[in-house]
Amino acid sequence: MHATLPLKTIAQQLKTISAFLLLLLLLGGCAGQYISKGDKRFGEEQYERAIEFYKQGLGSAGNAGEVNYKIAEAYRLSNRIAEAAPFYKAALDANFRKEDAYYYYGIALKANGQYEEALRQLQDYVRVGTSPQLKAQAAREVENLSTISTILKKSTPYEIENLEALNSEASEFAPYVRENELVFSSTRGPGKEYMGNGEGFLDLYTATLTDSAAAMGGAVRPYENINAENIHDALATFTNEGTTMIFARGNQGTKKGRRNVDLFLSNLRSGAWTTPQILSISDREAWDSSPAFSPDGKTLYFSSNRKGGLGGNDIYKTTLDDKGRFSTPENLGPDINTPGNESFVSVGPDGTVYIASDGLPGLGSLDLFRIENGKPVNMGQPINSPGDDFGIYIGEGNIGYFSSNREGGKGGDDIYRFVRTDRKLVNFFVDGILYQQRDGAGQQRTVVPDNTVLLQDANGKVLTMASTDANGQFTFALDSASTYSLVSEKPGFFTARERITTVGKMPSQQELTKDVNEVRLTAELVLNEIVKEKAIVLENIFYDFDKADIRPDAALELDKLVQVLEDNPGISIELSSHTDARGSDVYNEDLSQRRAESAVEYIISKGIDRSRITAKGYGESRPVVRNADTEEEHQRNRRTEFKVVRIQE
């Protein structure tokens, strides 16, 4: 019999429930208000404010997956893709199924240097995505990521340092040396906040160069008559001995303000810069920026997303005639421009063009490239990093400057100085060929095209992967004094594994003939066909007389079989031991069984499942050499073998 609750108790419980429901409604209402405000700011491209509102409403939002996606998108659209990664992941974990989230999550992982995870994410998207455009972009990124190993191991003869005295907690980038002044762009100004990313509006600044990076920054000055209030002014280039300046101006803060960036010109007259005038080649409907003059001042390069390009932003050039008129801009074409973004162009004193790109194979969102023989060449580490690396200035001699938002910086973007070193560098590579070998004496090895090869470190961690070309060839860049494994799989074949090492292979400085040298190792990987019930001899498995204990030398050989079983988890084997014909049949059978069981127990002790391996002693019943006479023939009969007895489909 149940006791009846007093009416007072029931009323109290109803009151508590009502208060709880009211709290939920209030929280839901507040969350909805925050999300609504975030949506409004997002639509106005005020991404920093949108992020603030979304985060305020996230905790009590009923659609957390969608809100996390919006936060991620706000970070991405304000050029902070690395910060978007955890929010894309949270959106996907909450089963928010917007297709581009899968793609951009992979891009965000790459921007954080999580290359293996990024590769898997983008490979998955290539397989299951439905957007033709995003699938094409993902396929390009997968191809680009396959080169990461080579770029990571490519040493360049530079030492870099952060200009800490010059940099601030804001962003500083796009350095340019004019006379003895370092001209750069920064959001450090005290003016109005730019709602796109929460920093200040960009202005041009200058500081006196010193021999010591630690001494710079004490006298940073804004450019008078150039910087306009609440408008971005940045990315200056100079010609006519520094008396003509072209720079980028735009982003008035309107809803479509991110797209109205144009090139402006100013001249130095009587010690003052003239009022900037828009350049005739600017496209009012496009984003025109990052100008750079050639050393003779006759060619101007710049970046633009104008119609007719090959992707996002492309590099263009225009020439000046004797009257100072610019020719119609010319796209530099598909050898340099990609479906991604190419920008932050600069030109060295020898006329070499440098660009930043997120569409070419690189370590991060933006990498720096040098144009050699009409083709972009990644500048490698330490110039490039998983972050954005851009806006390089190549000076006379051994010193230059560039911009980066890499880890360890002082602000959003920082300016770094690099100095060319005298020490000659060595880049290690391994060039390999992948073969397959089918069973049968008449079958020759054949190359295996379009098959994945993994590069593992000494602990078995996958560092990177490559796909073999039409000739079965592949290449990896390697570190010095390191040991690796090359691994490849194919259904129906034993996993191929080959050890490669650079230990002890570093040439002396006296042997090196170039500033940057290559040492190329070679390797052959062979995929052998799996044939059930075919005996495979394990070489050098020896036992002491009349004993079944595993000797240290035998353990080394059995470890190789352990590796085979780990590499091929779908196979089960029989391990057999055989004796010579000397001694009685019963004795030999017992001894061989004990030896086989001892070997199996050793293998199981290394972590192989007992169900995958059985022991069998055959004694002298299955000799390789019948009627053996010599010790060599007896030795061939005293052997340990394994054969595949089951293959899990």
Higher local confidence (pLDDT), 620 or 448: 448
49 vs 57: CA distance, rounded Å: 13
Yes or no: is domain 426-528 CATH 3.40.50.2300?
Answer: no
CB 365 within 8 A of CB 359: no
Q: What pLDDT was estimated at residue 458?
A: 87
Per-residue DSSP letter, 223: P
More confident residue, 636 or 519: 519
CATH of 25-152, one of 3.30.420.590, 1.25.40.10, 2.40.70.10, 2.40.50.140: 1.25.40.10
Q: Is residue 256 predicted with pLDDT exceeding 60?
A: no
- Judge whether residue 13 has pLDDT over 70: no
Q: Can you tell me the mean pLDDT for 518-533? A: 92
Q: What is the pLDDT of residue 620?
A: 80
- Predicted confidence (pLDDT) per residue in 67-94, tens digit: 999 999 999 988 888 899 999 999 999 9
Q: 587 or 345, which is more confident?
A: 345
DSSP string, 480-517: TT-EEEEEE--TTBPPEEEEEE-TT-PPPGGG--SSEE
Annotate 338-361 with b (16+ C-beta within 10 A) or e (fewer): bebbbbbbbbbeeeebbbbbbbbb
How large is the average pLDDT for residues 100-109? Answer: 93
DSSP letters spanning 581-646: SSS-HHHHHHHHHHHHHHHHHHHHHTT--GGGEEEEEEETSS-SSTT--SHHHHHHHS-EEEEEEE
> Mean pLDDT of all residues in the chain?
86
pLDDT top residue among 23 and 293: 293
pLDDT at 465 over 90: no
**In the structure, what pLDDT confidence band is assigned to residue 539 with cuts at 50, 70 and 90?**
confident
What's this model's pTM, rounded to 2 decimal places?
0.66
Q: Give rounded-to-5 percent helix, strand, coil for the chain.
A: 25, 30, 40
- pLDDT tens for each residue of 305-348: 999 999 889 999 999 988 889 999 999 999 999 998 999 999 99
> How confident is the model over 502-512, as a mean pLDDT?
88
What length is written for the chain? 649
pLDDT recorded at residue 537:
79
| Residue 263, beta-bridge partner list | 248
Q: Is the peptide bond before 382 cis (omega within 30 degrees of 0)?
A: yes
**More confident site: 537 or 401:** 401
pLDDT value of position 14: 46
How many Å apart are CA 402 and CA 411, to the nearest integer? 14
3-state DSSP of 266-281 = EEEECCEECCCEECCC
pLDDT at 185: 93
pLDDT band per the 50, 70, 90 thresholds, residue 455: very high
Give which of 601, 527, 603 is closest to 562, Cα–Cα: 603
**Which residue from 311, 313, 267 is spatially nearest to 286, judged by alpha carbons?**
313
Q: Do 452 and 434 touch, CB atoms closer than 8 A? A: no
Q: Cβ neighbours of residue 275 under 8 Å, at least 6 residues apart?
A: 225, 266
Q: Is the pLDDT of residue 257 over 50?
A: no
DSSP string for residues in 172-217: EEEEEEETTEEEEEES--SSPBPTTTSSBPPEEEEEE--S-GGGTT
| Percent of the chain at pLDDT exceeding 90 | 43
Q: Select from 358, 223, 366, 242 the least CA-distant residue to 293.
A: 242
pLDDT, position 258: 44
Residue, of 440 and 314, whose pLDDT is higher: 314
pLDDT at 545: 60
We find that the CATH architecture of domain 158-422 is 6 Propeller (2.120)
The residue ranges of every structural domain in the chain are 25-152, 158-422, 426-528, 536-647
Q: What pLDDT is attached to residue 3?
A: 47
Select the highest-mean-pLDDT range: 141-155, 349-363, 408-422.
349-363
| pLDDT of 255 | 43
- In the chain, the percentage of residues whose pLDDT exceeds 70 is 90
Question: Crossing angle, helix 132-145 and helix 99-111, to 10 degrees?
Answer: 20
Mean pLDDT of 634-649: 81
Same fold, 426-528 and 536-647: no
CA dist., res. 603 & res. 555, Å (int) = 9
CB-hemisphere CA count at 13 Å for 280? 8
Helices (H) and strands (E) in the chain, counts: 11, 33
Q: What is the pLDDT, as a whole number, of residue 352?
A: 94
Task: Give the CA distances from residue 303 to residues 248, 286, 292, 405, 645, in Å, rounded to whole numbers and listed in that order.
Answer: 10, 10, 9, 20, 63
pLDDT of 8 higher than 60: no
CATH number for 536-647 (one of 3.30.565.10, 3.30.1330.60, 2.140.10.10, 3.90.930.60): it is 3.30.1330.60
CB 184 within 8 A of CB 154: no
The per-residue pLDDT for range 344-365, each reduced to its tens digit, is: 999 999 999 999 999 899 988 8
Rounded Cα–Cα distance for residues 447 and 527 (Å): 10
Q: Using CA atoms, how far apart are residues 643 and 94, in angstroms rounded to an integer? A: 48
Token duo for residue 347: 């030109």
- 331-334 long-range contacts (CB < 8 A, ≥24 apart) are 334/310
Give the per-residue pLDDT at 605: 93
CB 340 within 8 A of CB 311: yes
Residue given tokens 């080959």 in the structure block: 498
C-alpha to C-alpha distance for 143 and 452, rounded to whole angstroms: 12
pLDDT digits 0-9 by tens, 166-197: 998 889 999 999 988 999 999 987 777 776 66
Min mean pLDDT across 92-106, 378-392, 612-626 is at: 612-626
Token pair 């080394």 in the structure block, residue? 556
Q: What is the DSSP string of 425-474?
A: EEEEEEEEEEEEE-SSTTPPPEE--S-EEEEE-TTS-EEEEEE--TTSEE
Question: Is the pLDDT reported for residue 21 higher than 60?
Answer: no
